[in-house]
Amino acid sequence: MAKDLLLEIGLEEVPARFVRGAMNQLKEKAAKWLETSRIAHGEIEAYGTPRRIAILVRGVEEKQADVNEEVKGPSRKIAQNEQGEWSKAALGFARSQGVEPSDFFFKEVGGVEYIYANKSSIGTVTADVLPEGLTTLITSMSFPKNMRWGNYDLRFVRPIKWLVALFGEEIVPMEITAVQSGRTSRGHRFLGAETDIPAPADYVSRLKEQHVIVDVAERESLIVGQINALSAEKNWHIAIKEDLLEEVVFLVEYPNALFGTFDESFLNIPQEVLITSMREHQRYFPVLDGSGKLLPFFVTVRNGDRTSIENVAKGNEKVLRARLSDAKFFYAEDQKLAINDALAKLDSIVYHEELGTVADKVRRIVATTGKLTAALGLDKQASEDAARSAAICKFDLVTQMVYEFPELQGIMGEDYARKAGERETVAKAINEHYQPRFAGDRAPASIVGAIVSLADKIDTIVGCFSIGIIPTGSQDPYALRRQAAGIVQIVLAHGMKLPLHTLFDLALDVHSARGLKRNVDEVRKDLYEFFGLRVKNVLAEQSIRYDVVDAVMAVGYNDLRQTVDRAAAVTAAAAGDRREEFKTVVDALGRVCNLAAKAASNEVNPQLFADDSEGVLYRAWQSVSDRVNERVEQGDAAAAISELAGLKAPINAYFDRVMVMAEDEAVRKNRLATLASIAGSVNRIADFSKLVW
């Protein structure tokens, strides 16, 4: 008969950002342990609040499954000597499987005899293995930050205060840091009391009686529902940011939403400042009108019932007033700081010990921006705006507002630059040059902002690569992957004709002035490979098949626009009604490219043609080659593929009538050169051999 299993770890308040990860970790560890222990079970549910992490496993069998299996050992040649005596390897295998050598038998696998043993094991009663198993589950957990307390060696996210461990209605006996397991859990710190859990199935309802909503999804649904009800009642738009909602869910056990107000005079401060202050410092949800303008209200979530809710609102209003007063003071003080004075302070801020100060970085951004505007052919005014934007793009880093709220960098720069009389294009570019800030964020809208953003991001990447800081595995402390993805996004969003190698060389030229620690060619090679993964991600996000991605990128991805266009064209050609016809074209082109790999050159001499089909194919290729190249350059790879499709018939006729690898060396080389010429055009689009049909 199966029983439910409950494990609850009661803790001091856990940081909200750790709770969901801890829940998932406990659930995964439990599933893995049960599987390894051969204990059948049903669904595993994970629960979590600031003061507890728990799992409830449905339908856990009362006994481990019996084992009866054949286990393969070493080959007979290794297991026995010529006298038939068992070797150390065979005896070791016997010990590891808990059998006697006399129980071995032989079976042939792939023409080789191996020793086998029948491994049989009677399953243990589940209740007997649970104490040690659950203890190991808990003590093996890991967290971003750990604590030790008392004289105990255990490192855990927070001190353990109580343990509930039930298998059916029976307590699973265990002890961790002098805390004995039992059936007693604790309710809300102020509204609830201790409560006994009769059986695992009663866990959620018993805690709810003690003002603890232990189910995370239910708690989140309550919060969203309460906020939406307020929104409908007041005709407000309450901005629910996902990461803030996630944090609030794990800050409370019994949620109740309420609203408060603040003085309208604070609305003279940019609303981004007010919203950031409310969200980051107070975990409040801002209130907006229908046009997205901030209103003098806020919404927060109380960890408790609605008793004296008005007093709670007043207390929050008082705290927020102090916060916003600080922001108002910082905002006023920052405007007394001249931009040039702010820039002078950047010389005293170290960016990286090997890459200089923030002022050094700004000077490199200015130099790279100048090279980019020239490479892209910007007009005089845009070039001047880009140069000015680059020169002052980091000045707000020394303001009090950005010091208090680092996430406002760029936003405050735009506001302060506008108030200082800078051109609107320049002010916007200061903010835009940080975009895209995260996955899913938009690229800079203006070309000036886009160029300064490119200069900033490529300076960071090239600078780090030049001193040997290259992301490996999950380690990327300087967020270089995000910066590279941003560059790809910007180039594509603005349709820039800016090859990657050109971008690399512009930044490498600027960094060469300080002296590079690594060889330039090595850095360039590493950069190209690094960006290749970012391009793959972009194509994958556009639902391009993996084999099409491989085929397109195999012939290069230096021009990002062309790479995306080629991938889209091949995808379209290989799908739907055109698929079978396109496959016949690819087969013909594939025969050409396979033999072309043996060519020493692509210089063709028509006088050496020995068959009419050679001339027909050569003239057909000549008639389309320029158009293929032009179409690819213009970003119309679909048209280029159509041009190449016209070569299918002359290619097939050519191979039907001509032996490419002729005995006459001159004729053979000439035929290979013809194929190499055609392959050159094909390889402007993709390596079609990588397509999977």
What is the pLDDT, as a whole number, of residue 264? Answer: 95
What is the pLDDT, as a whole number, of residue 477? Answer: 84
pTM: 0.78
CB count in 10 Å sphere of residue 43: 8
CA pair distance 487, 443, nearest whole angstrom: 9
CA pair distance 300, 226, nearest whole angstrom: 11
> In three state form, how does the secondary structure of 466-520 look?
HCCCCCECCECCCCHHHHHHHHHHHHHHCCCCCCHHHHHHHHHHHHHCCCCCCCH
CA pair distance 240, 247, nearest whole angstrom: 12
pLDDT digits (tens, 9 = 90+) for 644-658: 889 899 999 989 998
Residue 79's pLDDT band, with cuts at 50, 70 and 90, is confident
Closest CA to 514 of 690, 291, 352: 352
pLDDT digits (tens, 9 = 90+) for 615-666: 999 899 888 888 988 998 888 999 999 998 898 999 999 899 989 898 888 9
Query: What are the chain's domains?
Result: 3-63+125-209 (3.30.70), 67-121 (no CATH), 216-331 (no CATH), 341-541 (1.10.3210), 577-690 (1.10.730)
pLDDT digits (tens, 9 = 90+) for 393-436: 999 999 999 999 899 999 999 999 999 999 999 999 999 999 99
Mean residue pLDDT of the chain comes to 93
| Residue pointed to by tokens 């010429």 | 677
CB 203, CB 53: distance < 8 Å: no
Of the segments 295-299, 468-472, 677-681, which one has the largest average pLDDT value? 295-299
